[in-house]
C-alpha cells in the first residue's frame, strides 16, 4: 500500500502531468507493480474506478475528501475503495440484487442486505448497488428492473487499524483458489450509513468503474505473462538436460517464442486500449475513437485473461516438476491468474457484451478503420501479409455474424466467444505488425519473427457450428449409451 501511494499507482492518472498520455504512464506503472504484489491490483482497480465515477458525478456531497484520499501520494492518508455488488442470487444478473436502501431524515440512507463476494473488506470505502425504498408506491423499484438500482457511497473506516463502521459486518473471508492475500469477503449490511450518488440509474453511473477495472484486468494479465516468461526464460538458461541448457533445445525455444508472441500481442492490445482511455479523459478522443474504446475494452479483458492462463500454464510446464511444487512459487502464479478470467465478467459474459457492442455498425466501422490504419502503416511484405491475415479474420467474423443473425437466435449467442476472440486476435496481430514496422530498424528480424509466430498460432476461430449439436454435447445425452456399449 505504501509503495502504491508513493509511486502514484492511482494518482498518476489524475495528476495529468502527461496530458492524454497520463493513463499510459499510470498503467505502465501498474503493469510493473501489480504482478509482484499478490493481486493488490484488484483493489487498486476498484479504487481507480471509484475516483473516475465520483469525478464524473461531480464529486457529490461529502465525497470530495474521499477523492483526495484515493489519489494521495502520502501513505498515511492514502485510501482504497471496494466495489460491492455481487450477491448470492446472481453476479452478472443485477436484477436479482436483494440489498435495500432506506432513506434517513438527514439525507443519508441505510443499507440492508448481504453482499456475497466483495473486492475487499479492508478498504476505506465502497461503492454499493442497492434498491432504494421510495416514499410512494408508484416510485418503488421492482425486482427484475436493474435500472431501478441505486448507487451509494459507503464509508467503511478511516484507517486500516480500525474495524468497519456500525452496520457493516464481515460474515467470513472467502477461501479462494488464488488471490489469497486479498481479503475477499462476504459482507452483511445491517443499517450501514450510505451517501446516495444516484438513486434511479445506479448501474449506468457505475459503468466507468467497471470499464476501468476491466482495463486493469488486461494490464494485470499482460504483466503476469511477462513475469512468467521472465522466470521461465531465466530457469531455462540454468537448467541443463543432457549437457545443454534447455533454452538451446529447439522444441523448448520454439515454445518460449510462441509464449513471447502471445504476450506481445496482448501487450499491444492492452496499451492501445489504455491509450484511448487517456485520450477520452483528456477530451481529445474522436467519435470514432470513442466507439473503438467501447469495443476494445471487453475484447482486451476477455482475450488477455484467457491468454494469461494459457501462457502461465506453459510456464508451470517449463519448470517441469519444480513448476508443480508450492515452494517454488510457480503454482501461485497460475492460481492467481485464473481469477482474471472471472473478475469483472467471465469470458462468456465478456463475449456477449462484445457481441452486443459490435452489432452496432459504428463500432464495427471503428474496428475496420483501425485495421486500415495498421495496413497503411506497414511496408514490409511479411507485415503486409500479416495485416491482410488480420483483416481476413475480421471479415470472417463479421460475415459469420451477418449470416448467424438470419438463423435461429441460439446460433449468434453460441458463437459469441469465437466471434470476440477472432476480432481481438485480429487486432493483436495487426497491432504487432504496425509495431514491427516501427521496430525493424533496431530489432530487425526479431520484430518480424514475433508477428510470424503469432500468425502461425491461428487467429480465425470462426468455424461451422451447429447449435443443436453443442447443446447435445453440453448435456451429454450419450453418456449412458457409452457406458452400456
* pLDDT tens for each residue of 304-330: 999 999 999 999 999 999 999 999 999
Is 464 contained in some domain? yes
Using alpha carbons only, give the angle 375, 440, 368 rounded to the nearest 5 degrees. 15
**Residue 253 lies inside a defined structural domain of this protein:** no
Domain boundaries, position 461: 355-475
Q: 457 in a domain, yes or no? A: yes
Can you tell me the distance from the alpha carbon of 447 to that of 449, in angstroms, rounded to the nearest whole number?
A: 5
CA angle 124, 131, 154 (to 5 degrees): 10
Rounded to 5°, angle at Cα 345 from 342 and 351? 110
**In the prediction, which pLDDT does 173 show?**
87
Enumerate long-range contacts of 35-38, CB under 8 Å, 24 or more apart: 35/220, 35/223, 35/224, 35/226, 35/227, 36/227, 37/3, 37/4, 38/179, 38/180, 38/181, 38/182, 38/336
One digit per residue, the tens of pLDDT, for the chain of length 485 reads 999 999 999 999 999 999 999 999 999 999 999 988 888 899 999 999 999 999 998 877 678 999 999 999 999 999 999 999 888 876 677 778 899 999 999 999 999 999 988 877 889 999 999 999 965 333 444 444 566 899 999 999 988 778 888 999 999 988 888 887 788 889 999 999 999 999 888 888 889 999 999 999 999 999 999 999 999 999 999 999 999 999 999 999 999 999 999 999 999 999 999 999 999 999 999 999 999 999 999 999 999 999 999 999 999 999 999 999 999 999 999 999 999 999 999 999 999 999 999 998 899 999 999 999 999 999 999 999 999 999 999 999 999 998 888 876 678 888 999 999 999 999 999 999 999 999 999 888 899 999 999 999 999 998 655 555 666 656 665 555 656 65
- Is 252 domain-assigned? no
**Is residue 195 a part of any domain in this protein?**
no
Q: Which three cell numbers stand for residue 329?
A: 512459487
The predicted model scores a pTM of 0.93
How high is the pLDDT of residue 138?
37
Establish if 375 belongs to a structural domain: yes
171 belongs to a structural domain: no
Instruction: Read off the pLDDT of residues 351-393 as tens digits, 9 standing for 90 and up.
Output: 999 999 999 889 999 999 999 999 999 999 999 999 999 999 9
How many structural domains compose the chain? 1
pLDDT at position 214: 97
Asked if residue 236 is part of any domain, the answer here is no
Amino acid at each position: 500500500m505504501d509503495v502504491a501511494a508513493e509511486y502514484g499507482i492511482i494518482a498518476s492518472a489524475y495528476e495529468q502531468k502527461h496530458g492524454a498520455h497520463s493513463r499510459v504512464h499510470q498503467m505502465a506503472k501498474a503493469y510493473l507493480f501489480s504482478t509482484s504484489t499478490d493481486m493488490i491490483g484488484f483493489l487498486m482497480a476498484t479504487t481507480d474506478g471509484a475516483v473516475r465515477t465520483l469525478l464524473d458525478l461531480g464529486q457529490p456531497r461529502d465525497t470530495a475528501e474521499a477523492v483526495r484520499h484515493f489519489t494521495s501520494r502520502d501513505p498515511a492518508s492514502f485510501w482504497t475503495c471496494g466495489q460491492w455488488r455481487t450477491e448470492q442470487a446472481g453476479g452478472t444478473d443485477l436484477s436479482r440484487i436483494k440489498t435495500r436502501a432506506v432513506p434517513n431524515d438527514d439525507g443519508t440512507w441505510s443499507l440492508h442486505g448481504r453482499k456475497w463476494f466483495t473486492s475487499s473488506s479492508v478498504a476505506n470505502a465502497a461503492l454499493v448497488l442497492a434498491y432504494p425504498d421510495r416514499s410512494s408506491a408508484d416510485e418503488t423499484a421492482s425486482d427484475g428492473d436493474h435500472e431501478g438500482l441505486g448507487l451509494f457511497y459507503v464509508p467503511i473506516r478511516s484507517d486500516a487499524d480500525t474495524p468497519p463502521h456500525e452496520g457493516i459486518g464481515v460474515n467470513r473471508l472467502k477461501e479462494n483458489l488464488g488471490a489469497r492475500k486479498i481479503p475477499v469477503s462476504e459482507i452483511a449490511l445491517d443499517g450501514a450509513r450510505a451517501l446516495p450518488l444516484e438513486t434511479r440509474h445506479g448501474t449506468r453511473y457505475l459503468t466507468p468503474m467497471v470499464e476501468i477495472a476491466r482495463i486493469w484486468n488486461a494490464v494485470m494479465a499482460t504483466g503476469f505473462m511477462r513475469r512468467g516468461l521472465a522466470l521461465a526464460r531465466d530457469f531455462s538458461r540454468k537448467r541443463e538436460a543432457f549437457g545443454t541448457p534447455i533454452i538451446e533445445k529447439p522444441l523448448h525455444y520454439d515454445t518460449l517464442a510462441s509464449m513471447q508472441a502471445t504476450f506481445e500481442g496482448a501487450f499491444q492490445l492492452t496499451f492501445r486500449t489504455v491509450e484511448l482511455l487517456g485520450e477520452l479523459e483528456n477530451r481529445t478522443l474522436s467519435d470514432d475513437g470513442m466507439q473503438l474504446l467501447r469495443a476494445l475494452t471487453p475484447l482486451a479483458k476477455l482475450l488477455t485473461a484467457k491468454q494469461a492462463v494459457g501462457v502461465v500454464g506453459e510456464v508451470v510446464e517449463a519448470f517441469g516438476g519444480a513448476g508443480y511444487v508450492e515452494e517454488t512459487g510457480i503454482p501461485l502464479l497460475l492460481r492467481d491468474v485464473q481469477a482474471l478470467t472471472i473478475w469483472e465478467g467471465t469470458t462468456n459474459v465478456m463475449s456477449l457484451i462484445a457481441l452486443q457492442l459490435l452489432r452496432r455498425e459504428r463500432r464495427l466501422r471503428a474496428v475496420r478503420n483501425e485495421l486500415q490504419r495498421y495496413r497503411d502503416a506497414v511496408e514490409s511484405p511479411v507485415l503486409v501479409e500479416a495485416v491482410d491475415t488480420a483483416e481476413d479474420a475480421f471479415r470472417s467474423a463479421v460475415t459469420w455474424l451477418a449470416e448467424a443473425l438470419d438463423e435461429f437466435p441460439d446460433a449468434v449467442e453460441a458463437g459469441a466467444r469465437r466471434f470476440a476472440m477472432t476480432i481481438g486476435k485480429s487486432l493483436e496481430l495487426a497491432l504487432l505488425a504496425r509495431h514491427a514496422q516501427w521496430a525493424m530498424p533496431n530489432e530487425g528480424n526479431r520484430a518480424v519473427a514475433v508477428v510470424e509466430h503469432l500468425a502461425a498460432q491461428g487467429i480465425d476461430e470462426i468455424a461451422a457450428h451447429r447449435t443443436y449439436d453443442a447443446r447435445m454435447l453440453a448435456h451429454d445425452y450419450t453418456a449412458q449409451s457409452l457406458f452400456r456399449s
